[in-house]
Every structure is written in structure tokens, then in C-alpha cells.
Amino acid sequence: MEVYRQTSAMEPLLPTGQSARLAELTCEILKASGRLTGQVHSPLVLQRVADLVREMNCYYSNLIEGHKTIPRDIERAMKHDFSHDQTQHDNQQLSLAHIAVEKLMEERLASESVDVYSPDFLCWLHREFYGRLPEPLHWAATRNGKRYQIQPGGLRDFMVDVGKHTPPDFAALPKFLNRFDAFYGDKTILATDRLVTIAAAHHRLAWIHPFGDGNGRVIRLQSHAQMIRH
């Protein structure tokens, strides 16, 4: 099985076909977004909608990872009312961590000029997320059942398999992440290409799989950061 060590393995970094049609679709989405924004004038309503969307985001992030929490359980967790079932209790902890980091990230982006594509930002998201979880949730297992400890904010230092995909050699991760930052963070990318670029960056970051665990959660938060930034 090939082990990726050169950043050329990431190519193509953007879809190679139907660019004109994708740009048209992007314009349609931007116009619809503008119409929706124009319908809400109250800052209080915007804040309430943002709070609701954070809960929705954590619900789907948990669901994607196979950790099902229903909205009622998330609301209970936010009131520090946790389930007596350990699995559900853990899922509630994951929900709270996601909501807290998403809110913290939004506040940081509003007050700082942050490179949301940089390895530092990705590691910050990972560290903030796992820093809010109890120690027992800092452990994961390989497909063979071997347990390993997750280092909050630390890039993986071992090889993994993700389904049929073997991500790049861990020793080459800085090189891949720097290429990711340089390409997707390029300020000359046209606004009509940016939405497709965000989707492509999401896919490629998942392909790189920079962390021992928690990649999906970090990548979804980073995609959210891209949309805020642009």
C-alpha cells in the first residue's frame, strides 16, 4: 500500500471540471443567503438563531461520529443535567465541548485576524475541544482494538487507516498542512470560487487526517470558520 509523503499526492486541490456551472450555483447560494439575512433585522433574533444553529451543529457532528444525542439531551446537558447512562453522559459531554468551542471560535474570529487554514488554528481547535472533555474521553482505539491516548492539540505521530484510505505519513504532516494553508488560504481565490474551495478544503483535510482522533469534529469546525471568514 502506498504511503503518501509528497504533497503532490493531494492533487487535484479543486474540482477540475464544470467550473462555470459551479460558479453559477455559488452565485445562486450567495443571493439566497443575502435574501435570508435581509429578513432578520433584530440582533436579539440573530443571536437566538446562532445559539440554535450551534446546538444543531453539535447534534449532527455527534451523529456523524456515531454518537447519537437527541436535542432534548443536549438542552439538558447545557443545564448540567446529565444522563445516568455512561454512554449518553459521554455523548452529552461531547455536545457541550462542541458548542463551547464553536462559540469561542466565533468570538475569536470576530476579534482577531486569524488564518483559519493554518496548522496552528487547527491544533488550537483540537486542543480546545479535548481540553473540555474528561480524561476518559481522551482515549481511542485502532481497528484492531489497541487503545491509545489522544494528545489535545498534537498532530498524530503514528500511521492509521481510515476505511480503505491510508492518510499521509505522520512525519510528513507539517508539509501537507503547510501546503493546505498556502493553497486554500490564498486571498486571490475569487468569491465565485470560494464556496467550492471550502468544500474542497474540507475533503482534503479529512484526507490528510492530521490528528489521532477528533478529525471530523475539527474539520467541521474549521469549515464553519472558513464560511465566517469569507
> Where are the chain's structural domains?
42-112, 116-230
Distance (Å) of CA 30 to CA 42, 146, 186, 192, 195: 21, 46, 20, 9, 9
Reference 221, options 128, 138, 110, 90; nearest CA is: 128
Q: Which three cell numbers stand for residue 67?
A: 454518537
Inter-residue contact 23 to 192 (CB < 8 Å): yes
Tell the burial category of 35 from Cβ atoms under 10 Å away from its Cβ (0-12, 13-18, 19+).
exposed
CA separation for the pair 150, 127 (Å, rounded):
10
Reference 74, options 110, 98, 38; nearest CA is: 98
Classify residue 169 by its DSSP letter.
P
Reference 101, options 121, 82, 141, 129; nearest CA is: 129
Reference 102, options 229, 230, 221; nearest CA is: 221
- pLDDT (tens, 9 = 90+) of the chain, 230 residues, equals 678 999 999 999 999 888 899 999 999 999 999 998 889 889 999 999 999 999 999 999 999 999 989 999 999 999 999 999 999 999 999 999 999 999 999 999 999 999 999 999 999 999 999 999 999 999 998 878 889 999 999 999 999 989 899 999 999 999 999 999 999 999 999 989 999 999 999 999 999 999 999 999 999 999 999 999 99
Q: Is 149 helix (H, G, I), strand (E, B) or coil?
A: strand
Query: Which pLDDT score is estimated for 1?
Result: 60
Q: Which three cell numbers stand for residue 170?
A: 505522520
**Taken in order 54, 139, 118, 187, is the CA torsion positive or negative?**
negative
116-230 belongs to CATH 1.10.3290.10: yes
pTM above 0.85, yes or no: yes
CA separation for the pair 229, 127 (Å, rounded):
21
